[in-house]
A and B are shown apart, each in its own frame.
Chain A
């Protein structure tokens, strides 16, 4: 880790009384962006509570949190998306490591990844709007999973932005209900966080 602003060179004589030095960088005050963390945790009672409680107590703002089993018994995988500057998110990851049940945390924000979430959207539909909605669904690679005379339920997967876009498109018809799973992320290529754990 390097200090981005304190550019004082080693060995140069300090001059306390002259030239006011620049303010020291305060961790967490940098540019905020969306980060994606993958955490492998032991599947023990309360582990979700521990993670959630830590994020709350340390004031990290979680956008989404998805939990599921992995291929290894007793190990669960969490995908956490949160906003903060790089240092703050690094701090969040390090705090996660302090939890005894957390095995591995990886910030994959800078990596090339596959990111997907699933949404179910229940849309108000009439005989006149249904064809338009179906057109949008087709373009968004969505799938009709339920159909009634007054409504239509669409399942759609994609990145957060893609689903945001789809929801914006169908909002005009009237959304009766919306649920999203939150993003799940996997890095591209042959590297594996689970295999890294076994080593």
Chain B
């Protein structure tokens, strides 16, 4: 039997149920993992850190969640090559946990932005969560701290090692190099600011998100 997807639940996570729903639509089992619990890595086929406002975004977005007990197991899973995906706040958490480089800062507009964007996947990218190479995904964003930044050498390294997964075709938040999503050097740990779980059905406006979340099912 196929193992379920593990969906991390921190205090203040609010897209957790949406991820469960998305996997139900994909015909794949998904289970919550509570932030305070340690878990058996082998029980899952991969891990998702959903969006939301973990710990109310207090201190810094994702900073507190990055130190939750369950995250130490996620770290081991990441090292072992398990697929790990952070979405929105999940991206911020993975950066704070140093599982991904860079940081997410206030949008240039200085406002929360809810809008649809187009993000293009890198033709030569190594991201294992990418459903389609060189593809333009239509997905919604909803964040105020979504501007990706990193020092010049880190950006260069991301480029050189093909870790840039997704770039905005029209940059909404001032992210450096138009970055919407990146992955680690081995490609198994990835994150993006847009919400694939909100683009699962045509009635939502797009079903492109299924190409990303569906990677765990393929």
State yes or no: do A and B come from one complex: no
Q: Which of B's residues lie within 8 Å of A, judged by CB? A: none
